[in-house]
C-alpha cells in the first residue's frame, strides 16, 4: 500500500491512536494535516507528535465546527476519523457532550465530505461497545447490537452514518470496531481511555491497581501499532468500503494484565475491590471478539502480542512519564 505524497486529514490526530497513525503516515511519505480540538482531558497531547512536529500541519479546531470541517476536508485523499469521546462513564454523566462529539460531529464531517470531497476515503474508529454484554463468545459482526450506555448508542449512530453515506451517497467509508487498544501516547492520567491506561498509570507510579469484582473478567487487546496498521490497510482496500469490521487480539483477564504490568514495571501492586454501583450498571462482563472477517478481507494480522506490547508501553511511560502524568 502506498501513501507517498497523499493528502491526509487525521481527526483527533494529537490523541492516542491518531498520533501513532500520524507518525506512521509521515514515515510512509504522506502529507498530513492533524485536526484536534485539544479539549482538556480528552487525550490530545502535543508531545505525542514531537517526532513529526516539523513535518505536519496542525489545525486546532473542533469537528463540530462546520466552517472548519467544510474547508479542511477538501483535496484530501484519505481522512482518518479518529476523534471521539471514549469514556463510558463520562457519557453517562454528561450524555449531551458525548452526543455532540460522537453523533453531531460525525454528521458534520460526512456532510462536509459529501458536498466538498465525495471521493475521499474515510476510515472511522468505531467500538465493540455497541454489542453490549455478549450473548456468545467470541463476538463476530453478526452478533446483535445492544449498546449498554450512552457512549455505545452514540458511537453506533456515528458508525451507521458512515455506512449509510457509503450506501446512499457513494462515499468510500470503512469502520473498524476497536476493542481495548493500548500502547505509547495513550491518555493515562485517568481512566477515560479505558482501564488499561489507568492500570499503566498505577503500575508506573507504584500505586495500587484496583480490580473490580473478582478481576477475572476477560477482555481482548490490540497494541496500537496493530490498530494503526489495520486503519491503513482498511483505507487501501476498496472491498472494505461500506462495511464495519471487528478488530480483536490477545485475550487476558484484568488480573492477568495487572500482574504483567506490575512485573514489567517492577513497581505497583493490585487488590480486588467490590464493583462500584455506577460502573456495574454498564459493565458488559467477559468480552472478546472475532476479527476473522477483517483478516480475510485485508490480510491484517496483529504482530505484537500482549507481553511484548505491555513491556513496550511500560518502557515508554517510564521514559516519558512527565509528559503523561504531569499537569
Interacting residues with its own copies (CB under 8 A): 92, 95-96, 99, 103-104, 107-108, 111, 144-145, 147-150, 153-154, 156-157, 160-161, 164, 167-168, 281-282
- For its own copies, the closer of residues 167 and 315 by Cβ is 167
- State the minimum distance, in angstroms, from the CB of residue 317 to its own copies: 33
For the record, the C-alpha cell of 10 comes out as 487525521
In terms of CB distance, is 52 or 157 closer to its own copies? 157
Query: In the complex with its own copies, which residue's Cβ is closer, 39 or 157?
Result: 157
CB 176 within 8 A of CB 126: yes
Q: How many residues does the chain have?
A: 327
* CA–CA separation, 218 and 256 (whole Å): 9
Q: Among residues 281 and 315, whose Cβ is nearest to its own copies?
A: 281
Q: Give, in order, the Cα–Cα distances in Å from 79 to each of 109, 208, 292.
A: 10, 40, 25
CB of 281 vs its own copies, minimal distance in Å:
5
Write down the least CB distance from residue 84 to its own copies, Å. Answer: 15
* Residue with Cβ nearer its own copies (83 or 150): 150
Least distance (Å) between residue 158 CB and its own copies: 9
Query: What is the H or E stretch that residue 87 is in?
Result: none
Burial class of residue 189 in the structure, from the number of CB atoms within 10 Å of its CB (0-12 exposed, 13-18 middle, 19+ buried): middle
* Closer residue to its own copies in complex, CB, 107/137: 107
Cβ(306)–Cβ(222) below 8 Å? no
> Is the C-alpha dihedral spanning 310, 50, 174, 132 positive or negative?
positive
DSSP state for residue 11 in the 8-state scheme: E
Angle among Cα 53, 55, 60 to the nearest 5 degrees reads 60
Shortest reach from residue 157's CB to its own copies, in Å: 5
Across-strand partners of 57?
33
Q: Which is nearer to its own copies, 28 or 97 (CB)?
A: 97
CB of 168 to its own copies, least distance (A): 5
CB of 111 to its own copies, least distance (A): 7
For 103-136, give the DSSP string. Answer: IIHHHHHHHHHHHH-TT-EEEEEEEGGGG-S-SS
Amino acid at each position: 500500500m502506498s501513501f507517498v505524497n497523499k493528502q491526509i486529514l487525521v481527526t483527533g490526530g494529537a490523541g492516542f491512536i491518531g498520533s501513532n497513525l500520524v507518525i506512521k503516515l509521515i514515515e510512509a511519505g504522506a502529507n498530513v494535516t492533524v485536526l484536534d480540538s485539544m479539549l482538556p482531558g480528552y487525550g490530545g497531547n502535543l508531545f505525542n507528535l514531537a517526532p513529526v512536529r516539523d513535518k505536519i500541519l496542525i489545525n486546532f479546531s473542533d469537528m463540530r465546527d462546520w466552517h472548519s470541517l467544510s474547508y479542511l476536508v477538501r483535496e484530501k485523499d484519505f481522512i482518518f476519523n479518529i476523534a471521539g469521546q471514549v469514556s463510558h462513564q463520562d457519557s453517562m454523566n454528561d450524555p449531551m457532550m458525548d452526543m455532540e462529539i460522537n453523533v453531531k460531529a460525525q454528521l458534520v464531517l460526512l456532510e462536509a465530505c459529501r458536498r466538498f470531497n465525495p471521493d475521499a476515503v474515510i476510515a472511522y474508529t468505531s467500538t465493540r461497545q455497541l454489542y453490549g454484554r455478549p450473548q456468545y463468545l467470541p463476538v463476530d459482526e453478526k452478533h446483535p447490537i445492544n449498546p449498554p450506555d450512552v457512549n455505545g448508542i452514540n458511537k453506533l449512530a456515528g458508525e451507521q452514518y458512515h455506512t449509510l453515506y457509503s450506501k446512499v451517497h457513494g462515499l468510500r467509508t470503512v469502520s473498524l470496531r476497536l476493542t481495548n487498544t493500548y500502547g505509547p501516547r495513550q491518555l493515562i492520567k485517568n481512566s477515560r481511555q479505558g482501564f488499561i491506561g489507568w492500570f499503566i498509570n498505577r503500575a508506573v507510579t507504584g500505586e495500587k491497581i484496583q480490580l473490580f469484582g473478582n478481576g477475572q473478567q476477560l477482555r481482548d487487546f490490540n497494541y496500537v501499532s496493530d490498530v494503526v496498521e489495520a486503519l491503513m490497510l482498511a483505507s487501501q482496500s476498496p472491498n472494505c468500503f461500506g462495511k464495519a469490521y471487528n478488530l480483536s487480539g490477545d485475550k487476558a483477564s484484568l488480573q492477568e494484565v495487572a500482574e504483567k504490568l506490575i512485573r514489567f514495571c517492577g513497581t505497583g501492586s493490585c487488590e480486588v475491590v467490590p464493583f462500584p454501583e455506577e460502573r456495574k450498571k454498564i459493565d458488559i462482563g467477559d468480552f472478546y471478539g472475532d476479527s476473522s472477517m477483517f483478516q480475510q478481507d485485508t490480510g491484517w494480522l496483529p504482530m505484537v502480542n500482549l507481553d511484548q506490547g505491555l513491556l513496550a508501553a511500560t518502557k515508554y511511560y517510564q521514559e516519558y512519564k512527565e509528559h503523561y502524568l504531569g499537569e
